[in-house]
Amino acid sequence: MAASSPPRAAYYVQSPSHDDGENKTAASSFHSSPAASPPRSLGNHSRESSSSRFSAAKSGSSRRTAAAGGDGGKGGVAAGRGGGGGGGGGRRSPWMKEAAIEEEGLLMEDDDADGGGGGGGGFSSLPRRWRYALGFVGAFFALFFFFALILWGASHNQKPVVSINSITFHNFVIQAGTDASLVPTELSTVNATVRMTFRNTGSFFGVHVTAEPLTLYYYQLLMASGNVKYFYQSRKSSRHVAVAVVGDKVPLYGGGSGLSSTPVKGAPPAPVPLQLAVRFRSRAFVLGKLVKPKFLTNVQCSVRLDVAKLGKPVSLNKACSLV
């Protein structure tokens, strides 16, 4: 049988007392380094160290009995939950308190992260009610803008329609004369009435209508003009408009040398080609002043002034075009 190994030096560990109000005491221990001790030396020595720790805890518990009073039961429950032992009347050890404090700190950090704590900054740092209110306002404006965009797109597809129905020439005279500076020239006098129809095709809005002066041109010479009065046209409706076109003693300055309003050698004068033009401006206020589409309608017609047909309406249904 092999000789037994020489005995190892024993070491003792005494746990400190855990009183909150009392000074903590530490017992010195005479031991060798745990790292230097072999694993098999943990037999009897571990039992001796556990018995010393049990006796120290028991003595500390007996000293705290009078001071703890009614708190002994709570400490016993806490110690029983922690499994640290030391009797039913012992209180929680410091490392258990530190663990509980660390756990509570982690829980508080989680609550701050979930609740949008003040350290985050920005939108998440606002209170929840403010965030809901701002979200509601943003959603409302987004829906309102989307609705206005739909109205704007729908209204632009419902452009007003202008139709030039007829023109009636009442008077046409070419005579010699002088202009305002007494320069001799030929003068033209034209008196006519233009009838047209304005139709608003909008299904959910009315339009405010103005127009530039209606003009009659002989090539580049302005022969007569007339004004269209402002009017309002309700949705899905139409109206007939009559405009008086007048040109009184307009100087031609040689541009109308071939024009004549009287028969020549018993033959009626040749018809005079004229160009009729008008521009309508229509504006609708669909959603107050936020959605107000504007429409421009340009109409041009080719007209022939025949002296033999003075006083008779001349149809222009097929002589006009939109430009």
The pLDDT profile of the chain, 323 residues, written as one tens digit per residue, is 444 555 555 545 555 554 444 444 433 444 444 444 444 444 444 444 444 444 444 444 444 444 444 444 444 333 334 444 444 444 555 556 666 666 665 556 555 555 544 445 577 787 888 888 888 899 989 998 888 888 888 888 889 999 999 999 999 999 888 888 888 888 999 999 999 999 999 988 999 999 999 999 998 899 999 999 999 999 999 999 999 999 999 998 877 777 888 887 778 888 899 999 999 999 998 887 888 899 999 999 999 999 888 999 999 988 999 87
pTM of the predicted model, to two decimals? 0.56
Do 185 and 252 meet the contact criterion of CB atoms below 8 Å apart? yes
CB neighbour list of residue 121: distance below 8 Å, 6 or more residues apart: none
Q: How far apart are CA 219 and CA 224, in angstroms?
A: 12
Q: Are 310 and 170 in contact (CB under 8 A)?
A: yes
**Domain regions of the chain by residue span:** 38-61+90-108, 126-153, 161-322
Q: What is the pLDDT of residue 294?
A: 92
Taking alpha carbons only, the member of 85, 83, 86, 81 closest to residue 62 is: 86
Q: How far is CA 105 from CA 82, 95, 111, 232, 301, in A?
A: 19, 15, 10, 73, 87
